[in-house]
Structure 1
Amino acid sequence: MTTPLIPLRRQRDYRLLWSARAVSETGSEVARLAVPLTAAVALDASPIQMGVLAAASTFPFLLVGLPSGAMADRVARRRPVMVACELIAGLAALSVPIAWLTGMLTIPWLITVAFAIGMCTVVFRTFNTPHLATVVAEPQRTAAIAGFQSVFSIAQMGGPGLAGLLVALLTAPVAIVVNAVSFLVSAFCLRAIRTPENGTTAKGRGLGREIAEGLRVLINHRVLRALCATGMIVNVLGAAEMALFVLFAVNVLGLPAPLVGIAAIGFGVGGLIGAAIAPRLAGRFGENRVLLGSVLFFPFGFVATAAAGGPLWLVVCQLGAAEVITGVAVVCYSVCAGSVTMREAPEGLLGRVNATTNFATQGVMALGGVLGGVLGEMLGLRPAIWACAAGSLLCIVSLWSSPIRRGARPGAAEESPSTAPHPRSDPAASRT
């Protein structure tokens, strides 16, 4: 007889983990608007400088993404590393308002802070996924991932409005202090988690060999590879658009600073809806069908942004409504993709598979930021965003041409959608 699982909302350690993400993500959403506004308004940044600033926060995924995955699979205790990441990120963010008040803040300073926080983010995310597996039982992980997605959505709903208010009252650089405090509160919540990490320290066989093993699993597993490729496409184009969005919203659409975050608010509302319905949709239709349906809506936000224009009220409605729809789609996709990744990754390799996926999907955002800056300089702001809209159609091609589509057909086995040998049963996948 199996013991009934305690609902997640009644599990103290999950609530602490959820709360840590809630405060940290809210602070990050404030900084997501306040940092580019600081660069664009207070420091008069050019499109190229905005692109480099956007790239600085994601370049660490390329730099340390793969090694951090190998380390996450090696260590027995991951929580202390996560706490340290939050503390360091908090101190880095705190340096921005201090530098501004003392007259020392520059674009290179902002880029350096973005890079430091990005480094902490990479390590934190890599260690967080295997840590989640120690806090939440396997049958509850899809719901747990949906819970985290609701955190991100709530932060996107409240963060930009809070950021707009703080920017108006305190100036953009000083508003970043909220981000610093949120990192420190997150570290406190993580430190209070009691669930023991009883894993054993894995014996290292060489960092290069362990990284290669994670790469080989991702490349050879056709389902994981398709999810990764789709994520790379949407992220590189999304980063290119976001590098230009503040300049586009202020200079082309004429949005005042407090309304620049309207797209993020709309995305947050849609994401909250998506987090609520994703587990139900996955339970009824299967994760594969949800993935295939969600990706059809990915180009919608790009097109709506590029086509936005007219009176202020119409622009706000266009951006807000489009991002609500996009938010639902992206979060449904993300929840199901995360659940499939945790299910399909071979035992003992989840950290490396997750890190390799992040290396690819998040690392390309650094290239996307630079791409956005270059397109903005060469084509102009609106044509550059139209170019991103056209490229986003590749997301549909990537996923619908993969084994995920075959696995979603009636009568197909949802648990094993790939026609390739599963890494756990393929002897070649376990060689080093």
Structure 2
Amino acid sequence: MIPLFQPAPLKKQRDYRLLLSARAVSETGAEVSRLAIPLTAAILLGASPLQMGVLTAVTSLPYLLIGLQAGAVADRMRRHRPVMVACEVISAVAMATIPVAWIAGLLTVPWLIAMAFVVGACSVIFRAFNFPHLVTVVHESQRTEALAGFQSAFALASVGGPGLAGLLVQLITAPFALLADAVSFLVSAFLIRRIAAPEIHTPAPPRGMWIEIREGLHAVVRHPALRALCGCGITINFFGSVYMALFVLYALNVIDLPAGLVGALTAFFGVGGLLGAAVISRLVKRFGENRMLAYSVLLFPIDFVTAALASGPVWGKFLLLSASALISGMAVVCFSVCMGAITLRETPTELRGRVNATLTFMIQGVLTFGGLAGGLLGSLLGLRPVLWICTAGILLTIPWIWLSPLRHFSTQEAR
């Protein structure tokens, strides 16, 4: 469908720049907390392995507890922006309490766990409201480009955030480094508050929380394209979580990579993400979201196969893993951008919040189970065999997409 008018380029649209800047700042702050919170728990508070496991799990637990409800509430609301601002402010307060409690001598591991849960819950609610809010800021013809911009922000944060986190931890110690995350949440709230676009969302009539949640679930299960996206996302995140639970141990103890090089692989993945975000809009204009999605899943097994086969001199293993991380970063970002655009395209307006929440609930919630499965399988079978299991599992993403309607219709044809 040809738009009735040509909107201004995204980079010239003030509201989009504000929203993109808010996500970039917030994600960079989140990278700081991902390093500083575990360091605070392990080094300063002497957390046990069980406590460290719980601390990791509570960040994704809110997806399972309130993810579906958040989507139903988002569809009921006429305005999403005030809730998004409130989530950022509450997260800022939660992060700021950690250095304050440390100064007062009151900081404990349970307090860290509680604050991580609060921030995780705010993140779930924010995402549920941000997805339908995007359509009030960005014209339909520019959604893929907008989603690519967000992925660029996430990739930049993953490249620069760990270095900033390490610097702050060295300079002011882990608890006080979390003030950077608190400030990032406040800056994000301020930027979102300045968005001027009127919110035009028509709220869905309330018919009971569980009835509305079931409507979101049914919309995903019954729609062939959404069902394929959901199944593919669950498969990616489950086996990816198994892989990530063991990769550091595998890299250090099995293929003998130095710790510094293991960290550098994360940066290569982020650089790949930046490259993917830079090219995906142009590729979609040429091939369509559906075809790019189908092409992306073909690249997912590369990282797993490369890691499982890695051997030889350190420089050779590092170059091989770096190249695979670069390719995987590009593939993941291309897939994520196309998935978001297709979800917006295929979902009825009144169900966008619930469909997004259902997808998030299933796709993000499975991370907890994947991490636990990785630890168990690694203990029972050894590290390299589990990587081969992950390789076999990630291959299942291909039939999810290639045997669905997404394989046969390009975006242009669907429109």
Q: 1:398 aligns with which of 388, 397, 400?
A: 400
* Partner residue in 2 for 1:18: 20
In 2, Cα distance between the equivalents of 1:337 and 1:42? 41
SS of the residue corresponding to residue 407 of structure 1 reads coil
CA apart distance, 1:298: 1.2
Q: 1:134 aligns with which of 136, 155, 177?
A: 136
Q: How many residues align?
A: 413
CA apart distance, 1:212: 1.0
1:208 has 2:210 as partner:
yes
Q: 1:315 to 1:116 in 2, by over 3 A?
A: farther
CA apart distance, 1:107: 3.9
Q: 2:326 aligns with which of 324, 327, 347?
A: 324
Superimposed CA distance per residue, residues 381-412 of structure 1 (whole angstroms, 9 cap, x where no aligned partner): 5544443333222222322222222336xxx9
In the superposition, the TM-score normalised over structure 2's length comes to 0.90
In 1, Cα distance between the equivalents of 2:221 and 2:314? 47
* Partner residue in 1 for 2:365: 363
* Partner residue in 2 for 1:425: none
In 2, Cα distance between the equivalents of 1:97 and 1:253? 38
* Partner residue in 1 for 2:196: 194
In the superposition, the TM-score normalised over structure 1's length comes to 0.87
Tell me which moved more, 343-352 or 372-381: 372-381
Tell me which moved more, 385-394 or 321-330: 385-394
Q: 1:18 to 1:82 in 2, by over 3 A?
A: same
Q: 1:175 to 1:310 in 2, by over 3 A?
A: farther
In 1, Cα distance between the equivalents of 2:388 and 2:6? 51
Tell me which moved more, 189-198 or 315-324: 315-324
In 2, Cα distance between the equivalents of 1:336 and 1:35? 33
Tell me which moved more, 282-291 or 298-307: 298-307
Residue identity opposite 1:368 in structure 2: G
CA apart distance, 1:221: 0.3
- State the Cα RMSD in Å: 2.7
SS of the residue corresponding to residue 267 of structure 1 reads helix
Superimposed CA distance per residue, residues 85-133 of structure 1 (whole angstroms, 9 cap, x where no aligned partner): 1111122223334444555544433332222211111100010011110
1:51–1:372: 8 Å Cα contact kept in structure 2? no
* Partner residue in 2 for 1:81: 83
Q: 1:292 to 1:4 in 2, by over 3 A?
A: closer
In 1, Cα distance between the equivalents of 2:261 and 2:183? 24
CA apart distance, 1:238: 2.1
Tell me which moved more, 87-96 or 39-48: 39-48
Q: 1:407-426 alignment to 2 at 5 Å?
A: 407=409, 414-415=413-414
Q: Report % sequence identity.
A: 57
* Partner residue in 2 for 1:232: 234
Q: 1:221-370 alignment to 2 at 5 Å?
A: 221-248=223-250, 260-308=262-310, 313-314=315-316, 316-370=318-372
In 2, Cα distance between the equivalents of 1:308 and 1:30? 30
* Partner residue in 2 for 1:147: 149
User: Runs of 5+ in structure 1 lacking a partner?
Assistant: 417-432
* Partner residue in 2 for 1:94: 96
CA apart distance, 1:241: 3.0
* Partner residue in 2 for 1:66: 68
Superimposed CA distance per residue, residues 286-306 of structure 1 (whole angstroms, 9 cap, x where no aligned partner): 222111110111122233444
